[in-house]
Amino acid sequence: MSKIRRVKIGDIFIGGGEKIAVQSMTTAYTADVPKTVAQIKALSEKGCDIVRVAVPDETSAKAIFDIKNQIDIPLVADIHFDYRLALTAMERGVDKIRINPGNIGGEDRAKMVAEEAKRRGIPIRIGVNGGSLDKKLLEKYGSATPEAMVESALEHIQILEKYNFFDTVVSIKASDVKKTIAAYRLARERFSYPLHLGVTEAGTYESGIVKSSIGIGSLLADGIGETIRVSLTDDPVREVEAGRQILRALGLLEGGIEIVSCPTCARCRINLIPIAKELSKRLENVGGNLKVAVMGCAVNGPGEARDADIGVAGGDGEALLFKKGEIVGKIPEDKIIETLLDEIEKMKGTN
Ligand code: SF4
């Protein structure tokens, strides 16, 4: 497979070795600018790199100008079927559009969209969804198989290529995790456009996190995927948190504090779970690049704590404090959180 194409979205790049971008989507009515902007700001604060808004009508397409003026992450317009909405969104300054050129009512329209996007330097994401596959492909393959979905993506890609448009990103989503993984693997063999990963309609928080972690995570672990979106039937802020956790678990997130903590067991003589939860909450948006171990006892505790930049291993009502592999002191249980936070603050600048 040739090198993955690098595509510019607003002022960030995806593909070609760039960091994996985390995306999410607003749920407010897009034309309600204050609500949409507030949601985008909340997402951006959590680490969302690219945000998408649905553009169901002309009022929403026109609102893009005002939204863009109040946010500082790239904005994507999600458009289904109506090429005029794509043209308006581009004219109003959107950074990327999501549209399937084969579904907008003819090649003359696809040509218009491709040419306008090219002229303005706006990339296009083709979004193939297993649930809305072309009848012709469903008849050919019997169902929305990975082959059918990749063939659909290629059909859309070829329309854009015909008009010399190559700033394309592709997603091929199914609600079935194994099918999604197979489809993306096949897509990576067939073309070198950046892939936007996601498991569609993944469900509510609990099941959605599991499905997305397996689907997105196994592809990323194989080096497949340039941008991700965790879809949850929940507050989109939680999608961003989950997306970043997936990247962190795979060592793909630059910076931030990683917490390693044990599940506790009968050997644990301190109340570790609330301590780990509180630390995790308070360190959520702290910069730096540190690994912090919060361990319940002396069985695995010292080993993990030594391996981390800083950590504690619980004793009876107290904990040993480790820094860079050395025991540096003993802390009473009620001082563990504050001591770790103070020490982390000191270490951040030196790590
Ligand atoms: S580190 Fe100690 S307390 Fe934590 S799970 Fe392992 S044995 Fe149990």
Per-residue pLDDT, 350:
59
- CB environment 299-332: b (16+ within 10 A), e (fewer): eebbebbbebbbbbbbbeebbbbbbeeeeeeebe
**Which atom of ligand 1 approaches the CA of 266 most closely?**
8
The separation between the first and the last C-alpha atoms of the chain, rounded to the nearest angstrom, is 37
| Residue to probe by mutation, ligand 1, list 259, 261, 264, most atoms within 8 Å of CB | 264
Q: Which of 297, 306, 322 best tests ligand 1's pocket when mutated (most atoms within 8 Å of CB)?
A: 297
Cβ neighbors of 328 (< 8 A, separation 6 or more) are 321, 322
CA of 221 to the centre of ligand 1 (A): 28
User: What's the pLDDT score for residue 288?
Assistant: 78
pLDDT for 213 equals 95
- The 3-state secondary structure of 156-208 reads HHHHHHHCCCCCEEEEEECCCHHHHHHHHHHHHHHCCCCEEECCCCCCCHHHH
Nearest CA to ligand 1 atom 7: 299
d(CA 20, CA 1): 19
Q: In the sheet that 21-25 helps form, which strands lie side by side, from edge to edge? A: 168-173, 124-129, 96-98, 75-78, 50-54, 21-25, 227-229, 196-197
Q: In order along the chain (351 residues), what is the average pLDDT of each group of 10 residues? A: 87 94 97 98 95 97 98 97 96 97 89 97 96 91 95 96 97 92 97 95 86 96 97 93 93 85 92 95 83 86 78 93 88 96 83 55
Q: Span 7-249: which CATH code?
A: 3.20.20.20
Pocket of ligand 1 (CB under 6 A): 262-265, 267-268, 295-297, 299-301
For the CA of 298, the closest atom of ligand 1 is 2
Amino acid at 53: V
Please give the model's pTM, rounded to 2 decimal places.
Answer: 0.90
Domain ranges across the chain: 7-249, 256-348
Expressed in angstroms and rounded, the spacing between residue 144 Cα and the centre of ligand 1 is 46
Determine the atom of ligand 1 nearest the C-alpha atom of 297: 2
The CATH number given to 256-348 is: 3.30.413.10
For residue 192, the CA-to-ligand 1 centroid distance in Å is: 46
Q: How far is the CA of 83 from the centre of ligand 1 (A)?
A: 59
> In a mutational test of the pocket of ligand 1, which residue from 269, 271, 300 has the highest number of ligand atoms less than 8 Å from its CB?
300
| Rounded-to-integer distance, Cα 2 and Cα 22, Å | 24
Ligand 1 pocket test, pick from 299, 306, 312 with the greatest ligand atom count within 8 Å of Cβ, gives: 299
Q: Which atom of ligand 1 is nearest to the CA of 262?
A: 4
Return the residue whose CA atom lies nearest to atom 6 of ligand 1: 300
Which ligand 1 atom minimizes the distance to the CA of 268? 3
Backbone torsion region of residue 223, taken as left when φ is above 0, otherwise alpha when ψ lies between -120 and 50, otherwise beta: left
